[in-house]
Amino acid sequence: MSADLVDLVQRLGRPRVLVVGDIMLDRYIWGNAERISQEAPVILLRADTREERLGGASSVATMLQALGAQTSLVGVVGRDADGLRAQQILGDLGIDTAGVVTDRDRPTTVKERYIGRAQARHPQQMIRVDYENRAAVTGEVEAELASVAAELLRNTDIVLVSDYDKGVCTPKLLAAVIATAKQRGIKVIADPTRGGDYAKYSGCSAITPNRLEAGLATDRTITTNEQALASAAELRDRLGLEAGIVTLDKDGMAIAHRDGSSAILPTRVRQVYDITGAGDMVMASLGLALASGADYETAIRLANIAGGLEVEKIGVATVSRDEILADLLHAPFRAAERIPGVAKVVGLPNLLTELERRRASGQRIAFTNGCFDVLHAGHVQYLAEARRQADCLVLGINSDASIRALKGPTRPMNPVEARALVLAGLQDVDFVTIFADATPLSLLKAVRPDVLVKGADYRKSEVVGAEFVESYGGRVHLADLRDGFSTTSLIERMKAA
C-alpha cells in the first residue's frame, strides 16, 4: 500500500467532469432458479426483485458522482418511458442532464439481465436481452450534441468519452469535442469501442482499450506484457496521444508515454463476482484522479484499486472514496491473518453508522485528535485517559498532506496508513478515522461527541470545537500530559543517534 494513493484520495476534491457517450438503462430481474420448465428444457426463474441502474456512459457518470465529482453528461435517449426513467435517475443522483438529447427516431438503449440464485444463494447472470439501435445519430441530433458539449466545456476539468458503439460517438462529434477541449487545455480520455476505425479518437490525451480491443486495433493477440506495451505504443503514435493505455483485467494496465517510457502497473488478485462495470469504474476513477492533478501512473494505480473493488460486486455498482480508502489501508492484510484492530480504521459514513448503534445502546462517545506521528508513552497515557471519559473513543488523525501543511515538508515520519494501524491496535481506541482539513472541526461536527478531549497544554478557549460541543450539552476534558515525552524531541534524539 502506498501512502501517496491514500493522500490522493483525501485531496481529490470535486472536479468537474464531462462524460460524452452512450446512455443506457440496465435492468436487473432477480429471482430463484427453482427447476426446469415443463414447456422447454430451460431454467424457470421465479422473479422476486426488479432493479434499474444506469449503464454505458451514464454508468461512468454515476460512478463519478458516487466518487464525489461534479458530473455532466452528453448523450441520447429515446422518446419513451425508458428514456424518461434514465433521466429521472440521473436527476436524482445530481448529474447535470443539460447535455442529454431526446431522439424521437430511436429507442433508449436497454440491457435487461436475469439473475438467478441457486437454492436462494450464489447469484449468477443467466441471460441478457438488449433493446437498441446501433446506427449513428442523425446529422441534426449530432449537431445538437456538439452544441451542448461545447457549452458544457466552458466549465469542465476533464472530458471522458465512453463509446459503446450505440451511435452517439460519431467521428464528427468527437472531432468537435476534442478540438474544443484542446483549445481550452482540457484532457480528453476515451474508452473506445471494440473494432472499427480508431481514427476518430485522434488527438485525445489517452485511450483505454482492453486487451481484446487493443489487439483488434493493432492486429495483435495480446497475451504478454511485451505485446500489451507494443500495442499501447502503436496506438499512442498512430493517434497522437499523450499516453496509450491498455487495460489487462487481472494483470493491471500497460502504459506507453509520449516520451517513449512505458510500464506495466499490476493490480491485486481479487475474488471476482461479476466483471460488469469494471471498465466503467476504471474510466471514472482514472478521469477523477487526472482531473485532480495526478500523473498518469498514479491515476492508473488508483483506477486498479477501484476496478478491483467493482468486480467484487454484482452488476454495475458504485464505489465510494471511503471504500477505496479502507481497501488501501487494509490491503496488506487481506491474504494473511487479520491484525487485531485493523477493522477499527473507518471512513466517516461507516463511523457515523457505528456510532448510531453505540448511542442506541446507551453508550457515550469521546473524541480526540492529533497527528500521532511517532507513538510514545505519553500518547498511550493520554489516550487511556481520554477513553475513561466515555464508553467509546473516536480518534481523528491528520492526513499526511495536512501534517505537511502544519509541520513542514519533512513530516510526517510515518505515513497515515501506518499511523492508523498502530493506533487502532491500542485497546483504549475504538475507532480511528482520517481527516484532511487543517482542523478537525468538520469531523467533530459530524461525530457530535459527548466529550471532547484535548491535552492540558491547551486552555479550553484554544480547543477547536469546544464551543460547539458545549452548545449541545457536551463537555470538554483537558487530559494530563506525561512529562518528558514529545514527538519533536523524540525525532531530534533519533536523528542525533
Residues marked as catalytic? 280
Q: Is 373 helix (H, G, I), strand (E, B) or coil?
A: coil
The CA distances from residue 236 to 8, 33, 195, in Å, are: 26, 47, 17
Closest CA to 98 of 61, 54, 51, 43: 61
| Amino acid residing at 51 | E
The CA distances from residue 139 to 109, 172, 173, 268, in Å, are: 19, 10, 10, 45
Query: Cβ(311)–Cβ(273) under 8 Å?
Result: yes
Q: How many CB atoms lie within 10 A of CB 63?
A: 29
| Amino acid residing at 472 | Y
Alpha-carbon span 217 to 187, nearest angstrom: 22
CB-based contacts of 55, cutoff 8 Å, min separation 6:
24, 25, 26, 109, 111, 277, 280, 316
CB-based contacts of 309, cutoff 8 Å, min separation 6:
270, 281, 319, 323, 324, 327
- Which grid cell is 45? 426463474
Alpha-carbon span 321 to 349, nearest angstrom: 10
Q: How many CB atoms lie within 10 A of CB 2?
A: 14
